[in-house]
Homo-oligomer: A and B are copies of this chain.
């Protein structure tokens, strides 16, 4: 059995490159088909080994349909191969919770149909590999990128389908010469913790890259990793048994809340591929049940791995946990060898090199540690996230973004079934923490706590609109509104004292950051906890990501950072908090500036704010208001409108009302000016508004 490494795509001879890619495609294609030859007969295609997923027939056809769909999306082809089959075979079921069973009714095509369909698609792709324009490097927007994407996508399914087959009842699979297991096992070695010196870890690739990469691999991340100890071996079945025997699966305190919930649902008492027969454990490989190979790595999910670490921490009174992604990369950088484009050179149980199973944890020593890569994937503490500068690949916009939710943890290192992109240094795959893969773990001891305060992406439409409004692109040539407001204040308020500013109604915070470029302290308050949470999150993480609606349910992923806006160092001078401008705590006082941007027509009783705001300003301080005076009963009862009303039969504008309400304590400081703003609703629809900015000196 052989599986080629992922091709180099930035250099070489063009026609040789076509050959290489054709071979890479065919190997993958045939390997994938061969995998399904392990099914006892065609009826097994309609079994659903994992109740959370489609039956196997879907996966058999899906990797072909994926090619067609992406070729259509990229407008490389404009005719489907089989619209009917493709509508059935397009969308997997991967994002579910453990109790969301896939019980929809589907009218699946026959195995024969899918085989014929696969043949057609194979011919199509081969033809395209022969004829599509090819220049090196192959870049994101090139047709050949789509070809590579299709191949690497099939390699992922090669592995995940092997997991599904491993979940089938034994009676439904058969022996196959391509899929032999590793043959020997023995007693497990004693595991020990070895020192790993700290260091700086850099991750992320830039375009153009030497090999194909998924979008989540691009961008940059630097992490300072402190000294830790790591287990010499992966946790073997032997080592894991101690946890089971010590009532690990019955002791709630070892489990995370999520883990315990999962345990209550599944009633698991041991790892998924263990079979208990009275007091003996058997072990399920892809196609066989064998006596427990005690020195092979334990296949567990994150929740089980984490419970094991907590158990071990308790027993040893040490801080034992899984490595973070950065710690894993650091360990890998210290112990593995890669070729000049980052493909693994060390020997390891990957690429089916040593059969279709794991092997003893003591088989592959890579410098100081065993199985730094290969054998089984290794769960990490890190939920997958985009690097700084992450951009979605337009042809596969839901590959990564839906997993940036804090609930998908990275697995690293690859397994015996990992090939192609899966085994390179930069690869980044993540699964829900309860999912079953050929995955286990290595534990570490570290004083560094990991509590990933996950910077999840905002999907709420209103908040995303505001994030784009404050930090995103400019539309119709209208300048960024919060920045324009604060720039104007700086320009007009030259003689102001720049000590303390209050940003009332700060929303998602841009004006607060801008104020903090000059003010020593900025208090930023908004009524909406959701707005404030986003502002705070940006302040903490330095970046924020959100989805903006393009058209209907289609959306674009956006990420903005304080750094890009030159605001990174302002965050420390801002204190964000939730508050009510109509009933603000007394502590908000002694300001040199109070800015209330687009606030007054959203207050339930603006007079409460306007008639007391002078108490919070220092003498000579400036109150600056902006508003489009969009009074709506929804926000402000009509009897509380400051203007835009008839009083005794005469028109009273909001500006009139402001003068009336503020004249006792303020003088108008400058002429009102108009400041336009645009809020994007979809790619084509916007609110375009002109706020009036007024200046009031105490």
**A629 adjacent to B552 (CB under 8 Å):** yes
Q: Residue-by-residue, is A242-271 near B (CB-CB < 8 Å gives 1, otherwise 0)?
A: 000000000000000000000000000000
A628 within 8 A of B: yes
Stretch at the interface among A42-50, A155-163, A182-190, A684-692: A684-692
In the docked arrangement, what's the CA distance between A628 and B680, Å? 13
**A645 adjacent to B476 (CB under 8 Å):** no
**A90 adjacent to B648 (CB under 8 Å):** yes
Stretch at the interface among A226-234, A378-386, A579-587, A650-658: A650-658
In the docked arrangement, what's the CA distance between A654 and B681, Å? 17
* Choice from B86, B646, B684 contacting A628 with Cβ under 8 Å: B684
Interface residues of A in 117-144 (CB under 8 A from B): none
Chain B contacts for A644, CB-based, 8 A: 550-554
Q: Residue-by-residue, is A51-72 near B (CB-CB < 8 Å gives 1, otherwise 0)?
A: 0000000000000010001101
Given A645-B554, A686-B687, A73-B628 contact (CB < 8 Å)? no
Chain B contacts for A628, CB-based, 8 A: 682, 684-685
Interface residues of A in 668-698 (CB under 8 A from B): 678, 681-682, 684-692
Given A687-B687, A688-B678, A650-B553 contact (CB < 8 Å)? no
In the docked arrangement, what's the CA distance between A551 and B690, Å? 12
Chain B contacts for A689, CB-based, 8 A: 684-686
A529 within 8 A of B: no
In the docked arrangement, what's the CA distance between A688 and B684, Å? 8
Count of A interface residues, CB-CB < 8 Å: 46
A649 within 8 A of B: yes
Q: What residue in chain B is nearest A676 (Cβ atoms)?
A: B476
Q: What residue in chain B is nearest A394 (Cβ atoms)?
A: B651
**B69 adjacent to A398 (CB under 8 Å):** no
In the docked arrangement, what's the CA distance between A651 and B73, Å? 8
Chain B contacts for A641, CB-based, 8 A: 552
CB distance from A79 to the nearest CB of B (A): 11
**A651 adjacent to B397 (CB under 8 Å):** yes
Chain B contacts for A650, CB-based, 8 A: 69-70, 72-73, 90
**A684 adjacent to B690 (CB under 8 Å):** yes
Given A551-B643, A552-B641, A554-B653, A630-B90 contact (CB < 8 Å)? no
Q: What residue in chain B is nearest A644 (Cβ atoms)?
A: B552
A25 within 8 A of B: no
In the docked arrangement, what's the CA distance between A91 and B648, Å? 6
**B684 adjacent to A687 (CB under 8 Å):** no
A87 within 8 A of B: yes
A631 within 8 A of B: yes
CB distance from A39 to the nearest CB of B (A): 25
Given A69-B650, A398-B649, A554-B651, A685-B687 contact (CB < 8 Å)? yes
Chain B contacts for A647, CB-based, 8 A: 87
Given A678-B688, A684-B689, A685-B689, A551-B629 contact (CB < 8 Å)? yes
Q: Residue-by-residue, is A84-99 near B (CB-CB < 8 Å gives 1, otherwise 0)?
A: 0011001100000000
CB distance from A394 to the nearest CB of B (A): 9
CB distance from A403 to the nearest CB of B (A): 15
Interface residues of A in 364-409 (CB under 8 A from B): 397-398
In the docked arrangement, what's the CA distance between A552 and B648, Å? 16
CB distance from A52 to the nearest CB of B (A): 17
Chain B contacts for A476, CB-based, 8 A: 476, 688
In the docked arrangement, what's the CA distance between A688 and B641, Å? 26
Chain B contacts for A681, CB-based, 8 A: 630
**A554 adjacent to B688 (CB under 8 Å):** no
Q: Residue-by-residue, is A534-571 near B (CB-CB < 8 Å gives 1, otherwise 0)?
A: 00000000000000001111100000000000000000
Interface residues of A in 601-643 (CB under 8 A from B): 628-631, 638, 641, 643
In the docked arrangement, what's the CA distance between A638 and B552, Å? 9
* Choice from B550, B648, B651, B688 contacting A686 with Cβ under 8 Å: B688
Chain B contacts for A551, CB-based, 8 A: 629, 631, 643-644, 653-654
In the docked arrangement, what's the CA distance between A79 and B655, Å? 16
In the docked arrangement, what's the CA distance between A650 and B638, Å? 47
* Choice from B91, B631, B648, B687 contacting A649 with Cβ under 8 Å: B91
* Choice from B638, B643, B688 contacting A687 with Cβ under 8 Å: B688
In the docked arrangement, what's the CA distance between A554 and B686, Å? 24
Given A678-B688, A684-B689, A684-B690, A90-B649 contact (CB < 8 Å)? yes
Q: Residue-by-residue, is A428-443 near B (CB-CB < 8 Å gives 1, otherwise 0)?
A: 0000000000000000
Chain B contacts for A630, CB-based, 8 A: 681-682, 684-685
Chain B contacts for A687, CB-based, 8 A: 685-688
Chain B contacts for A692, CB-based, 8 A: 684
In the docked arrangement, what's the CA distance between A631 and B476, Å? 22
For A397, A644, A650, the residue with the greatest tally of chain B CB atoms inside 10 Å of its CB is A650
Chain B contacts for A691, CB-based, 8 A: 684
Q: What residue in chain B is nearest A686 (Cβ atoms)?
A: B688
Interface residues of A in 446-477 (CB under 8 A from B): 476
Chain B contacts for A69, CB-based, 8 A: 648-650
**A552 adjacent to B631 (CB under 8 Å):** yes
Interface residues of A in 398-423 (CB under 8 A from B): 398
Chain B contacts for A646, CB-based, 8 A: 398, 553-554
**B87 adjacent to A645 (CB under 8 Å):** no
For A70, A551, A645, A681, the residue with the greatest tally of chain B CB atoms inside 10 Å of its CB is A551
For A398, A554, A643, A689, the residue with the greatest tally of chain B CB atoms inside 10 Å of its CB is A554
For A87, A550, A648, the residue with the greatest tally of chain B CB atoms inside 10 Å of its CB is A648
Sample of 19 A–B contacts (CB below 8 Å): A72-B650, A73-B650, A73-B651, A90-B650, A91-B648, A91-B649, A476-B476, A551-B631, A551-B654, A552-B631, A552-B638, A552-B644, A554-B645, A554-B653, A630-B684, A685-B687, A687-B687, A687-B688, A688-B688
- 9 closest A-B pairs (Cβ-Cβ)? A552-B644, A90-B648, A688-B688, A551-B644, A628-B684, A552-B631, A91-B649, A90-B649, A685-B689
20 new A-B contacts at CB < 8 Å, known A551-B631, A629-B684: A65-B648, A70-B650, A72-B650, A87-B648, A91-B648, A551-B644, A552-B638, A552-B641, A552-B654, A553-B638, A628-B684, A630-B685, A678-B688, A684-B690, A684-B691, A684-B692, A685-B688, A686-B687, A687-B687, A687-B688
Contacts from A to B (Cβ < 8 Å): 65, 69-70, 72-73, 86-87, 90-91, 397-398, 476, 550-554, 628-631, 638, 641, 643-651, 653-654, 678, 681-682, 684-692
